[in-house]
C-alpha cells in the first residue's frame, strides 16, 4: 500500500485548483486584519478553518461555495493577490507538484478598484515568485462567472496575457439554469485566437451541460465531468455499454478534471468508494486527479491520490498513469509537456518505485556486517 509520504515525494500534475479555495487560514486572518475586513467567521486559525470547511460537508454546491465570500474579500489588493499566489505555488511544490494550472476569476477581485489587468499581473507575479527555485511551473487559467455577463471581456483578458503565463479560459459557478452556451461569443473568440478552453460541466448538472460544453462551446477539457457516468450502462453480467456522448468523449480523449473529495462534499458523488473515477479509469477515459479547493475540502493532491490508493488499491502504475494523463492534457506547449513527462515525471516515478521496492529500507544499507 502506498503511503502518503511516498506519494508526496513523487512528481504530480494539477489541472483543477482554485486560487481562492486554497489559502492558508493564517494568511486569511492576517490579510483581513490588514484591510480591516471584519466579517470573518472566526478569529483564530482553528475556528476559521472549521467555519470555512463546514460547508464542505453539507452535500450541496451552493452551500459549499459560501465560504469563498471570505477568501475573495481579502484578495482585493496587488500585495494580497501576490502573496496568496506565491504561497499557493510554494504549497503545491511542497506537496510534490511539478506542474500546475491554477484558476481564478479576475472579476471577483476588483472591489477595491483594481483593473482586471492589474489583478492578473499581481497573480502571475506571485506564481513566479512562489515557484522560483522550487522545481514547479505554475500557469493561470482565467475563469468567467457563468452567472455574470463578462465572459467575452475575460476571454480577451486571458488572450492579452497569454505570453505571460495565462494558458487557458474557464467558466464556473452555478450550473443549473446557466448553460455554457450563454457565453458562446467568448468561446468563438477564443477559437479564433487559437486559445485553450476548459469548462466546469457535469458536476452539479448532468449530461446536457457536458454535451453543450463539448459540442457547442468546443471545450478541450471538462471540469469535473463526473456525470458522464449517467451515459454509461452496466448490465447484470458486468457488460458495459457507452452512450453516444460518453463514447465521443472517450474516443476523442477529452480529459476529465476529476476532484473526488470535492465531488463527495458537494453531493456530485455519494462516497469515494462509489465515485465514478473508478469505472472511468477502468474504461480508460482520459481521467486526471485534482484538488479543486485545498482549504475548503482540506485536501492536497497527495492526499487525494492516497485516498484513491486506500479505496481502490491503486499502486504506482495507476498514480503514474493518472499523472501522465494530466501532463498530456495540460495547456502548456507540446515541447514543455513532453520534456516534463520524459525528464521529470517518468524518472521521478522510476525512483519512487525503486525506493518503495527496496527489500531493506535504504537507511539500513549503510551498515555492513560481515560474518
Average confidence (pLDDT) over 154-160? 98
Q: Taking the chain, what is the end-to-end CA distance rounded to the nearest angstrom?
A: 34
Q: Higher pLDDT residue, 214 or 266?
A: 214
For the segment 138-153, what is each residue's pLDDT rounded down to a tens digit? 999 999 998 888 999 9
Q: What is the pLDDT of residue 360?
A: 64
Pairwise CA distance, residues 248 & 302, whole Å: 31
For cell 516515478, the residue is 349
Q: Name the average pLDDT for the chain.
A: 93
Give the pLDDT band of residue 371 (cuts 50, 70, 90): very low
Locus of grid cell 549503510: 366
Catalytic residue among 87, 107, 175, 203: 203
- The answer to whether the CB of 196 falls within 8 A of the CB of 166 is no
- Cβ neighbour number for residue 240 with a 10 Å cutoff: 12
**Is the pLDDT at 27 greater than 70, yes or no?**
yes
pLDDT at residue 365 in the model: 52
How many CB atoms are located within 10 Å of the residue 321 CB? Answer: 15
Answer positive or negative: Cα dihedral of 153, 159, 162, 164: negative
* Grid cell 476523442 in the structure block, residue: 252
Cα(296)–Cα(287) distance, integer angstroms: 23
Residue written as cell 477529452?
A: 254
Tell which wins on pLDDT, 337 or 205: 337
The answer to whether 336 is a known catalytic residue is no
Q: Quick one: which of 225, 265, 275 has its CA closest to 67? A: 265
Per-residue pLDDT for 98 more than 50?
yes
Give how far Cα 262 sits from Cα of 7, 99, 272, 293, Å: 20, 21, 10, 7
Query: Given a cut of 70, is residue 368 above it in pLDDT?
Result: no
pLDDT band per the 50, 70, 90 thresholds, residue 202: confident
Least confident of 45-49, 53-57, 127-131, 255-259: 53-57
Average pLDDT over residues 21-41: 96
Give the pLDDT confidence score for residue 364 in this predicted structure.
54
Task: Tell me what pLDDT residue 341 has.
Answer: 98
pLDDT for 102 equals 98
State the pLDDT at residue 75. 98
Instruction: Give how far Cα 204 sits from Cα of 88, 230, 264, 278, Å.
Output: 26, 13, 11, 19
Are 203 and 182 within 8 A, CB to CB? no
pLDDT digits (tens, 9 = 90+) for 235-294: 988 899 999 999 999 999 999 999 999 999 988 899 999 999 999 999 999 999 999 999
Among the listed residues 56, 72, 53, 75, the one whose alpha carbon sits nearest the alpha carbon of residue 64 = 56
Decide if pLDDT at 110 tops 60: yes
Of all residues in the chain, the percent with pLDDT exceeding 90 is 83
Beta carbons of 285 and 210 less than 8 angstroms apart:
no
Inter-residue contact 286 to 321 (CB < 8 Å): no
The per-residue pLDDT for range 346-362, each reduced to its tens digit, is 999 999 999 988 766 65
The answer to whether the beta carbons of residues 210 and 245 sit under 8 Å apart is: yes
- Which range of 173-187, 192-206, 314-328 scores highest in mean pLDDT? It is 314-328
Average pLDDT for 68-74: 96
With cut-offs at 50, 70 and 90, classify the pLDDT of residue 2: very high
Q: Are strands 221-224 and 232-234 parallel, antiparallel or unpaired?
A: unpaired
Amino acid at each position: 500500500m502506498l503511503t502518503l509520504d511516498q506519494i508526496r515525494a513523487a512528481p504530480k500534475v494539477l489541472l483543477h485548483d482554485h486560487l481562492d479555495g486554497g489559502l492558508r487560514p493564517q494568511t486569511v486572518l492576517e490579510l483581513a486584519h490588514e484591510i480591516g475586513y471584519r466579517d470573518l467567521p472566526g478569529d483564530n486559525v482553528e475556528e476559521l478553518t472549521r467555519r470555512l470547511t463546514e460547508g464542505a460537508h453539507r452535500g450541496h454546491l451552493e452551500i459549499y461555495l459560501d465560504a469563498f465570500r471570505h477568501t475573495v474579500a481579502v484578495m482585493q489588493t496587488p500585495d494580497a493577490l501576490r502573496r496568496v499566489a506565491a504561497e499557493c505555488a510554494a504549497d503545491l511544490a511542497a506537496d510534490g507538484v511539478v506542474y500546475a494550472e491554477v484558476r481564478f476569476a479576475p472579476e471577483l477581485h476588483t472591489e477595491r478598484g483594481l483593473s482586471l489587468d492589474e489583478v492578473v499581473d499581481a497573480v502571475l507575479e506571485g506564481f513566479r515568485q512562489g515557484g522560483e527555485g522550487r522545481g514547479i511551473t505554475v500557469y493561470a487559467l482565467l475563469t468567467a462567472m457563468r452567472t455574470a455577463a463578462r465572459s467575452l471581456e475575460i476571454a480577451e483578458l486571458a488572450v492579452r496575457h497569454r505570453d505571460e503565463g495565462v494558458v487557458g479560459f474557464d467558466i464556473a459557478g452555478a450550473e443549473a439554469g446557466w448553460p455554457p452556451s450563454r457565453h458562446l461569443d467568448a468561446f468563438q473568440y477564443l477559437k479564433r485566437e487559437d486559445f485553450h478552453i476548459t469548462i466546469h460541466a457535469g458536476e452539479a448538472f448532468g449530461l446536457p451541460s457536458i454535451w453543450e460544453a463539448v459540442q457547442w462551446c468546443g471545450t478541450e477539457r471538462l471540469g469535473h465531468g463526473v456525470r458522464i457516468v449517467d451515459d454509461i450502462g452496466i448490465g447484470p453480467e458486468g457488460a458495459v455499454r457507452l452512450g453516444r456522448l460518453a463514447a465521443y468523449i472517450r474516443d476523442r480523449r477529452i480529459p476529465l478534471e476529476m476532484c473526488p473529495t470535492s465531488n463527495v462534499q458537494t453531493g456530485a458523488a455519494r462516497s469515494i468508494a462509489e465515485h465514478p473515477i473508478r469505472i472511468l479509469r477502468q474504461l480508460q477515459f482520459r481521467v486526471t486527479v485534482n484538488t479543486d479547493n485545498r482549504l475548503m475540502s482540506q485536501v492536497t493532491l497527495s492526499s487525494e491520490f492516497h485516498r484513491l490508493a486506500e479505496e481502490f488499491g491503486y499502486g504506482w502504475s495507476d498514480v503514474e498513469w493518472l499523472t501522465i494523463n494530466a501532463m498530456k492534457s495540460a495547456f502548456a506547449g507540446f515541447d514543455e509537456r513532453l520534456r516534463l513527462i520524459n525528464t521529470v515525471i517518468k524518472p521521478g516515478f522510476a525512483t519512487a518505485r525503486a525506493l518503495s521496492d527496496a527489500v531493506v529500507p535504504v537507511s539500513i544499507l549503510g551498515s555492513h556486517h560481515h560474518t
